[in-house]
């Protein structure tokens, strides 16, 4: 099955609304970042033309599409500043790392709000790049390995 097409997201609305949420949450303590992420995921769902449905506290990801494919989303500052993303925390065990998790999503969506760009990576590639540490599993992804990318600058040209 084909993954959700990032071109179907209204990126201009997504980023404008995310900016509003981020501005609001500047006044909140760091403990509220999870709620900020929840609100940003709701925005993606609302701007996906009904193609993505947000999952709450679901073990298989943040979204499911109409084909039954699961998506994990990560907002990453400076994700697309270079040819490789900064380190992304895929799993935080908040203690002793239990090793690489089993497959819990089909695709990872990485969003760089400042650069107004979004990319999608398949699980196999992400899994291959995972680095197991003491309490976390991280990954650095090559932008060229994304199966889809979309930037607001492409849309506005």
Helix (H) or strand (E) holding 34: helix 33-46
pTM > 0.75: yes
* CB contact set of 111 (below 8 Å; sequence gap of 6+): 73, 74, 75, 76, 79, 117, 118
pLDDT, tens digit, for every residue of 77-129?
999 999 999 999 998 777 776 778 888 899 999 999 999 999 999 999 999 99
Chain segment 140-156, per-residue pLDDT in tens: 999 999 999 999 876 54
Using CA atoms, how far apart are residues 111 and 103, in angstroms rounded to an integer?
21
């Amino acid at each position: 099955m084909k993954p959700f097409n990032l071109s179907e997201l209204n990126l201009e609305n997504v980023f404008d609304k995310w900016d509003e949420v981020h501005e609001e949450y500047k006044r909140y303590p760091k403990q509220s970042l999870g709620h900020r992420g929840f609100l940003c995921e709701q925005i993606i769902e609302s701007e996906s033309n009904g193609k993505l449905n947000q999952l709450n506290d679901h073990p298989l990801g943040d979204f499911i599409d109409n084909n039954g494919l699961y998506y994990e989303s990560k907002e990453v500052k400076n994700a697309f500043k270079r040819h490789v993303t900064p380190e992304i925390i895929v799993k935080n065990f908040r203690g002793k790392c239990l090793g690489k998790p089993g497959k819990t999503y089909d695709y990872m969506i990485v969003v760089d709000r400042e650069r107004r760009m979004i990319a999608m990576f398949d699980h196999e590639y992400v899994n291959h790049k995972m680095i197991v540490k003491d309490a976390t599993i991280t990954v650095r992804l090559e932008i060229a390995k994304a199966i889809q990318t979309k930037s607001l600058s492409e849309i506005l040209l």
